[in-house]
A and B are shown apart, each in its own frame.
Chain A
């Protein structure tokens, strides 16, 4: 009985290696917010206008007890008169499954440009609030939040 020679030709090895490295670069990821997707979501709202840091105060605990329910308060320094007020406040995140958190529409009748809510954070990440003013300018603030997972993962 003759022995069959293994097909370990140089070409086979090269092609195998190329396929392997291609597989490594084409990563299949589930739909996921990323800093890039967050920037895209912000561009969607802001367009080509520049966003300046300031006037917005983002209150969120630096270390959250539980990512499922995180307290959030956003306030904007504005006189809230009929000629100078906050139109909208948008909140974004960079690591949840999708980048938007909430958009709040105000007006001169608000009296105070401030709102509070509770939201979810899937991981430690940066949260960004962007305020759109009646004069068309955009202002922002960000906060770095650390989220630890529940220590004892429950099944029931």
Chain B
């Protein structure tokens, strides 16, 4: 048809309006991404004492785990009787920037792996040692020690096209309503960050400092532990540690936090 006839124009404008409306609905259902320049780390909302706890290694309880991690880094383990240091030498040099770009794509797994999984893959492949249990003191210590070497660096997810479908899967999970409370991550952390929920400030949920010393746990814990806590808070059945859903979520969250500074190991309420 001739697009310039009044009838054609009216059809085009109506279709455009419907498409715009659909986009608007889609974006409200999806939650709108926080504009890049408005993203902020939970550190900024900490009280004075908690900020001091994070900033000073001598009073940050997470330092206990970092020190353990350094010890484990140099310990020969497994049938191969090999230490991380035997391949990677000085972690303060070789591990600089590593945690800032995880999760990465693993050919062996044909999908993304987070830092804890990468550590266990190394243990199996190169040390012939059994994997460390999720949330075990040893695994947390190693990921805290490795993560500490990226402190102050910008979170830099790899520019890897193989990760794109997994980031999208993570985004879908972030926007999906779950549990008896029937809410999605996005509804709190994209749409209502900065407001209060039962007296507590809703953060954006940027994973800028994992593993964190969480005041609630009075212990160090991983991002997956935190995600599982959120899910059970919504009265949903949380995905198991290491489940692909958790890794995809972690991957999406680190992508969402790209450019923000890594603070590992951070202190959070």
Chain A residues with CB under 8 Å of B229's CB are 152, 154, 156
B211-233 to A contact mask, C-beta < 8 Å, 1/0: 00001111000000000111011
**B48 A61 Cβ-Cβ under 8 A:** yes
**In contact, B238 and A156 (Cβ under 8 angstroms):** yes
Contact A151 B200 (CB under 8 A): yes
On whether the beta carbons of A154 and B233 are closer than 8 Å, the reply is yes
> Do A154 and B198 form a contact, CB below 8 Å, given A65-B50, A66-B215, A68-B215?
no
Contact of B216 among A61, A66, A71 (CB under 8 A): A66
B46 within 8 A of A: yes
User: Do A153 and B215 form a contact, CB below 8 Å, given A61-B48, A65-B50, A148-B198?
Assistant: no
- Shortest A149–chain B CB gap in Å is 7
B238 → chain A closest CB, angstroms: 6
Does B216 lie within 8 Å of A150, measured CB to CB? yes
Q: Is the CB of B232 within 8 A of A155?
A: yes
Residues on the B chain within 8 Å of A154, using CB: 216, 229, 232-233
Q: Which residues of A contact B232 (CB under 8 A)?
A: 154-156
* Nearest chain A residue, comparing its CB with the CB of B214: A66
Interface of A is mostly: loop
Interface check A137, CB cutoff 8 A: no
Partner of B199, one of A61, A149, A156: A149
CA gap between A42 and B233 in the complex, in Å? 39
Contacts of B49 in A (CB 8 A): 61, 71
Find out whether the CB atom of A152 lies under 8 angstroms from the CB atom of B234: yes
Interface residues of B (CB under 8 A from A): 46-50, 53, 197-200, 202, 215-218, 228-230, 232-234, 238, 269
User: Which A positions have Cβ atoms within 8 angstroms of B?
Assistant: 61, 63-66, 68-69, 71, 148-156
> What are 18 A-B pairs at a CB distance below 8 A?
A65-B50, A65-B200, A65-B269, A71-B49, A148-B198, A149-B199, A150-B200, A150-B216, A150-B269, A151-B199, A152-B230, A154-B216, A154-B229, A154-B232, A154-B233, A156-B228, A156-B229, A156-B232
3 nearest A-B pairs in the assembled complex, by CB-CB distance: A152-B233, A148-B199, A71-B49
